[in-house]
Structure 1
């Protein structure tokens, strides 16, 4: 008969072994980000948006070379950090067409690392305040996985958002796939073994369906154009989420990327970038 310690170690090994958004557990500090973009010869700024009443500090990276008045803001999934979007922030096509911003969501990267904010509504309100603080106009909000419904909720909160791109979004409360490995982040006997980003992701995942249900009736008020991109063999966020977005958003475009899974935001930027750029043209030329 195997001991409890054996099962704990087995569970931890499995937890570290499973992929999806978890491949982006890492985070880069400010100096590493500056060095990376200096090597690419792309000037970048890093700032911290603070809400004293919440004891909250949100890290934001900015690429502001463009003379355009269009702003793109990226929201990552879980666990992850703003560095997940490096391939977009250093792309000359994006740098020329818009000012670009990437955010460490609460609990990740260097935004109160380890302190989960499980409410999508609260996160969206924080990001709405962030848009106002930096005076960002003509915003395209882009989110992957968990960041998808956050980007859409931001459009509900703030009229500065003129368009939303959701990549592999976990948005249907009735089609929220259970990831059994996340249970290790919730059991007291195994939680301490899990890396910090995994624990935050587990905290979010545990209540994600309930949080989506709380805001489900508001999607009809999001009248800006919404683009939903989803891989048809996504094994983390079911492809059937597209049926939900078709029903709840007034102005929705669905694009299926064939034979692709959940990691298309960072795994297939060759597919995502042209779609995002085309969407930008649609939003601001119509």
Structure 2
């Protein structure tokens, strides 16, 4: 009987985690085929704590002297989730897609549930090129990661594109079975990506509560892209951001009526338009500041 209960519990956990695992990629039929992924692979040592560092895998494409755009996947996910987007976007920017800590080819083996530590893993890539500060784009849980990076390194980030990002702590739901799945009894049986994703999601509500204090002070330009039919990260996160950001914040919304959560695959053109719009905004602002200084 005990074995039977364990199997039933594991089956329930598998169903829940199967839904979460959907963040890795789109439903069948949405993925494009671009053949060989024409990127350069990097591996850098990134400090993610006072006495802790890990290797972060990254994949780059585009001219190195162009503005850098750092692409941050959700949970579980990996950098390869941006493959079709990068292939479509071409050479207009210097794209860097990273494997977040705990996923893909990045270390560590276990979960890194702290948004601050996840953001610290981006620090080695926050290098302006030709005076152009990087744009960060985060999908799903990658959204709060890039917001945290902008909070912690405001002088190194130009602006943010938030694609179906999760921000409202009150919208986060953790099921009892997820805690059981995080126990030694069952966690060993889960693949690394699902095990680490489960631990991230269990911790996310508290992390978002802390993040809200920084959002209320944010002055960097933000473009938020969200589908009204997103059943993984509800559209209500848009209202939360509007309410939490300062009244004078530079905030633009791209509302996608009828669209779901899988924006890096089914809304690639919209995401690229957001990056281009933010790039123009940053260039115009820099020119305005230059003109004021020269007057």
Q: Does 1:198 align with 2:200?
A: no
Distance 1:190 1:236, change over 3 A: same
2:134 maps to 1:139: yes
CA distance in 2, matches of 1:182, 1:267: 29
2:61 to 57, 60, 63: 63
* Match 1:233 to one of 209, 216, 229: 229
User: Shift in Å at residue 213 of structure 1?
Assistant: 1.1
Aligned residue for 1:224, secondary structure, equals coil
How big is the alpha-carbon RMSD for the aligned residues of Structure 1 and Structure 2?
A: 2.9
- Measured in 2, the distance between the counterparts of 1:135 and 1:80 equals 31
Q: For residue 210 of structure 1, report the CA deviation from its aligned partner.
A: 0.5
Q: Give SS of 2:71's match.
A: strand
Answer yes or no: is the 8 Å Cα contact 1:177–1:238 preserved in 2: no
Counterpart check, 1:8 vs 2:6 = yes
Equivalence for 1:87: 84
Distance 1:284 1:134 in 2: 13
Q: How far, CA to CA, are the matches of 1:160 and 1:46 in structure 2?
A: 20
TM-score (norm 1): 0.83
- Other-structure match for 1:265: 264
- Three-state SS of the structure 1 residue aligned to 2:126 is helix
Taking structure 2 as the reference length, what is the TM-score of the superposition?
A: 0.80
Q: Which residue of 1 aligns with 2:206?
A: 210
Q: Which runs of 5+ in 2 are unaligned?
A: 26-32, 286-295
Q: What is the rounded CA distance, in whole Å, between the counterparts of 2:44 and 2:197 in structure 1?
A: 22
Flag the 1:10–1:109 CA change in 2: closer, same or farther, 3 A: same
- Which residue in the other structure is 1:175 paired with? 171
From 98, 122, 125, the counterpart of 1:127: 122
Q: Deviations over 1:48-79 (max 9, x none)?
A: 234394141111111143642x1100111000
Judge conservation of contact 2:135–2:161 (CA < 8 Å) in 1.
yes
CA contact (8 A) 1:37 1:43 kept: no
2:255 is matched with which residue? Answer: 256
Aligned length: 271
| Cross-structure match for 1:33 | none
Tell me how far apart the structure 2 counterparts of residues 24 and 97 of structure 1 sit (CA, whole Å).
Answer: 26
Match of 2:292 in 1: none
Render the CA deviation track for 1:82-111: whole Å, top value 9, x for unaligned. 1111112222xx332211101111111111
3-state secondary structure, aligned to 1:39: coil
Number of the residue aligned with 1:114: 109
